[in-house]
Structure 1
Amino acid sequence: MGSEALPCYVACDVSLSMADHIDELNAGLREFRGAVHADAAVADRVLCSVIGFAETPQVVQPLFPMDDLAAMPAPGACAGTNFGPVFTFLRDVIDADVRALEAHRVRVHRPIVFFLSDGQPTDPVTWPSAFAALTDPGWARCPRVVTFGLGDADQHALARIGTFRSYLGRDGVRVGTALIASVMHVLSTSRPPAGRILSGKETPWKRTEGDRP
């Protein structure tokens, strides 16, 4: 890993309804890894974590350089698709990961969360508050969020969640293409902070080209 890093978090729905899409999802992850490794300058900066979620989230792969990328497991029997717990989990994981990188004097780009689902949230009342905490512009580690809808995904909900970009597989976009395009855009248009935050006072991220209000 070089002196700067772009943390990427791929949060994938692994509820029962995703059984028909898991091969497409894993093909997209392989395509993403291949494209990152094809450019040494990109591979040196991109770190990736993979998280599966249904009723609760679980780490499939911690934040590592993309020498390898874990495949998503086959969906379990759980039919629930709770968005709120994974948003809360992501906030905690991002906070810990960025602190660890900064402690090693790595300059950290604003993180990206890729959120992939084929369904509707089964916690419609509670997920918006968890999402608001994750994307609070006053939080110094607030990530950009890119959504990708598979199958008959709830387009309205995903559009609310995609603060940076939002894609639908039924429009002919591939998972890998969406991941690659978003990462390359961020690396080409943004710069990480000039140095570690030493005072404990954190500066909120400024909105850049491509971010939605």
Structure 2
Amino acid sequence: MVLDVLPCYLVCDVSFSMSDHIDEVNAGMREFRGVVHADRHATAQIRLCVVVFAESPLVVRPLLPALDPAEEITPREESGSDFGSAFTLVRTIIERDVNRLKTQRVQVRRPLLFFVSDGRATDPAWPAALARLTATTLCPEMVAFGLGAVDQRALGRIGSSRVFLGGDGVRLGIALASSVARTALRPEHV
């Protein structure tokens, strides 16, 4: 039996404007891990990578089984939210990860990118980096989750598949779990 793997990328804004919401992000990640733990099939299938960004992006967790514990995300004392550099880094990471998974003889599902931010980018050229990411053959399913005083227009451009808003009472862990379940049910492979 060939293992079916769903690569998921949680991309989280940790700039100063998000500092009041990082505890909610960490709680959501723990809740998501609990959901994965409860489903044996999901435990084997789902891989999670975590990228944080403010003025620059950083991989804080490489693509590993989602059940593996993740380090707590911490805010940065940086006022910038460079969406473009985050999208550029994630594009490179997805390409590398999918190629590595294919060498392991597994079926790789279309990746899921779960973008967490208030949507207030400080780099005006970010739409071009988003377009390069979504124009690839490995274009991920794009979901946005807004926290705080959100720019809904920007999040709507990013979350082309779906947009959740924490202000509407939606919990991050549940939104991530439902997005993963929705993507996992589709028969798309790369």
Partner residue of 2:151? 154
Q: 1:109 offset after TM fit, Å?
A: 0.2
Deviates more, 1:92-101 or 1:163-172: 163-172
State the secondary structure of the residue aligned to 1:49.
Answer: strand
Counterpart amino acid of residue 54 in structure 1? A
In structure 1, what is the equivalent of residue 38 of structure 2? 38
Whether the aligned pair in 2 keeps the contact of 1:52 and 1:72 (CA below 8 Å) is no
Offset at residue 191 of structure 1 (A):
4.3
Report the structure number with the largest CA radius of gyration: 1
Q: Which residue of 1 aligns with 2:103?
A: 103
For structure 2, the 5+ residue unaligned runs are none
In the TM superposition, residue 90 of structure 1 has moved relative to its aligned partner by 0.5
State the one-letter code of the partner of 2:149.
D
8 Å CA contact 2:36, 2:67 repeated in 1: no
Q: Letter of the 1:34 partner, please give it.
A: G
Structure 1 runs of 4+ with >4 Å offset: none
User: What count of residue pairs does the alignment treat as equivalent?
Assistant: 189
Query: For residues 37-186 of structure 1, what are the structure 2 equivalents within 5 Å?
Result: 37-124=37-124, 126-136=125-135, 139-186=136-183
The runs of 5 or more residues in structure 1 that have no matched partner are 194-213
Paired position in structure 2 for 1:24: 24
- Give the secondary-structure state (helix, strand or coil) at the position aligned to 1:50: strand
Larger proportion of helix: 2
Quote the residue 2:14 is aligned against.
14
The AA in structure 1 aligned to 2:123 is D
1:72 is displaced (CA, Å) by: 3.7
Comparing 2-11 and 55-64, the one that deviates more: 2-11
Confirm or deny: 8 A CA contact 1:4 1:106 kept in the other structure. yes
Identity %: 50
Q: Distance in 1 between matches of 2:159 and 2:119?
A: 15
For residue 184 of structure 2, the aligned residue among 180, 187, 190 is 187
